[in-house]
Structure 1
Amino acid sequence: MIEEKILAHALECAPQESCGFVIKTNFGQRYIPCRNIALDPTEYFEISPDDWIKAHAEGELIALVHSHPDGIPVLSQTDRTMQQRTNLPWWLVCNNKIYKFNNIAPLIGRAFKHGVMDCYTLFRDAYHLAGINLPDFYREDEWWKKEQSLYLDNMEKTQFYRVNDIQPGDIILVCLGSEKANHSAIYCGDQYVLHHCPQRLSKRDVYSGYWLNYTDSIWRHKQWQPYGFTAICNDMAASSNLMY
């Protein structure tokens, strides 16, 4: 019912961007449509302050909703910047579908904690922004020193397949101080990767030297779309803005 109302509101507002909130009340969740008071509402949205106040007064904010009538189904750089500030999941209407994005940590500048905020978390979160949701799985410390091969055992299970070429968005598996593929990086084009090494902040790096020499394999998701990498780039740009 909520999703039907969200889609109907987006259709009613087109070609302008719709906006609103999903709230939780004592009677369940419901959608509150809001007014887009942006100077150019076909390009971006700005929720009326009165509607913000109304939504807060009527219940707990569960998600912020807006639409991309003629856009792509990923959050823009501005969307990601504002999502960090609102600290809410954002639901996006595009092509008469609703895409739901959690408020993940910025992809660049993350502190490392194995099993919680590590190279797989970065890989999984980046793909979430690209519209592909991957499972989480338990990974004990130094699993690669035991009878485990978590990356290679799970890539095909999660609809990845090996490739011999490389394009932005592909996953590179690297043998980091091990004979097993135990580290992942996202190829960003122009010989750069995005990854998260132990005891370091997540960052972009040049794909050469060690990383190139100790590459195990390159993987591509069956559902990957080119706009997925746009989503990752938008987050990296938003992350850079938040750092200054």
Structure 2
Amino acid sequence: MKPKTLTDIKRHAEADYPREACGLIIIRRGREKYLPCKNLAPDTEHFIISAQDYAVAEEMGEIVAVVHSHPDAPASPSEADKVSCEASGVLWHIIRVDGTEGIPTAGELITIEPCGYQVPLVGRQFFHGVLDCYSLIRDWYQQTRSIELKQFSRADEWWNDGKSDLYTQGFPQAGFVSIESNAEMQVGDVILMQIRSTNGVPNHAAIYIGDGLILHHLHGHLSSRDVYGGYWQEVTRNVIRYVG
């Protein structure tokens, strides 16, 4: 990384504190350039780079790295950072910013690169859109059956926006169909549940892994295996099966 690039990253990270700063490094006409991007995330704990910013960067040159800051936290990559780095196919630079005496100061910078990292199915942290219940189902199908399910963009808490029904609409596009209510469940069947959804639609999904157990990733919790009974059966709205 060129000294000017690092300086530009630090200035951006300090200017956006306490929000996470994010940006892209491109190579244009043989020169390295840092492009600050707008963080579209609704909170201060993660970042979302807009598709428009990516498009502008791609028009200007070749994207070679993603950059973001960790306000008041180590620059160590989270599970979500590692997964997203793999998906991007480029380097990720993470820089720490501390609000010392009210003056944000950028410090340590850590770089990670795609290396084939796979987050464990059980015990993974929750990060909506990156590590959530649908991500877990996609990973299970990829790891156990070598099936790549379709990916969908999804805003956090879409189930409370008064209109969205992403699971009912999305799973058929990913190759799933409903099974009869009295049909015996098979390993790989997906159970759609409604948990505190003001839209009145399913907003959580679990995968049946046999022996009365489900694998799922509940919002704000670590992914886990649980017995399918009691509360989970009460909130079940549909069971669907992959047919391709």
TM-score (norm 2): 0.48
Q: Which has the higher helix share?
A: 1
Q: Which has the higher strand share?
A: 2
